[in-house]
Amino acid sequence: ALLSSGLQDKAFYTGMWATLNTLGRWSGELFDRRKNGEIYPKYLTITAVLDTSGAVAYYVGTFSDITERKQAEAKINRLAYYDPVTNLPNRRLLLDRLKQALKTSGRSGQRGALMFLDLDHFKLLNDTMGHDLGDELLQQVAARLKTCVREGDTVARLGGDEFVMLLEGLGQSPHESAAHAEAVAAKILGALGQPYA
């Protein structure tokens, strides 16, 4: 009860105690609750201390607060898979999702579409108005693109002014899936053609 943050289930603690009773020690990551109610990650090591008869007299637990490490890991993961300007998946994550989509499509027979988009005259905007304004435009484009696709589809930024949309599960018929992709493309053109603030 002392360690329980409510984020680990009963099976977690059952496994922890099974290891502790078998090996006499357990270590691992878990979430704990501070006195103020805040939940934080920690690395905990528990060791059983035996008395002279070989029975467990008590347990000693030591822990380290690993909040900063977890935040650094999340930041590294974010930088590895997401574009820092638009927060869209980057090339690496797009390729991973594309591989998964191909596998899924091969099993289900569902078709998909891959759309490539680049912005006309973006370099001119960057050169004349500055990179800050260029980044703002990229963010607005990213937001508009996300509204044009379904939740399970992927909008990624390859770099510069290049975006890719991965549409999955468009249907098994070539005509049906092509019509759906064409409708999404028209929706994208309409959204991107609106004025930008």
Count CA atoms closer than 13 A to 22's CA, side-chain side.
7
Helices (H), 8-130: 10-23, 67-81, 91-108, 122-129
| Closest of 2, 14, 16 to residue 45, by C-alpha | 16
Count CA atoms closer than 13 A to 165's CA, side-chain side.
24
Strand partners, 120: none
Whole-angstrom Cα distance, residue 134 to residue 125?
Answer: 6
Structure-token pair, residue 43 = 């690395």
Q: Which residues contact 27 (CB under 8 A, 6 or more apart)?
A: 43, 44, 45, 46
Count CA atoms closer than 13 A to 58's CA, side-chain side.
2
| Closest of 195, 118, 185 to residue 153, by C-alpha | 185
Active site amino acids: 161
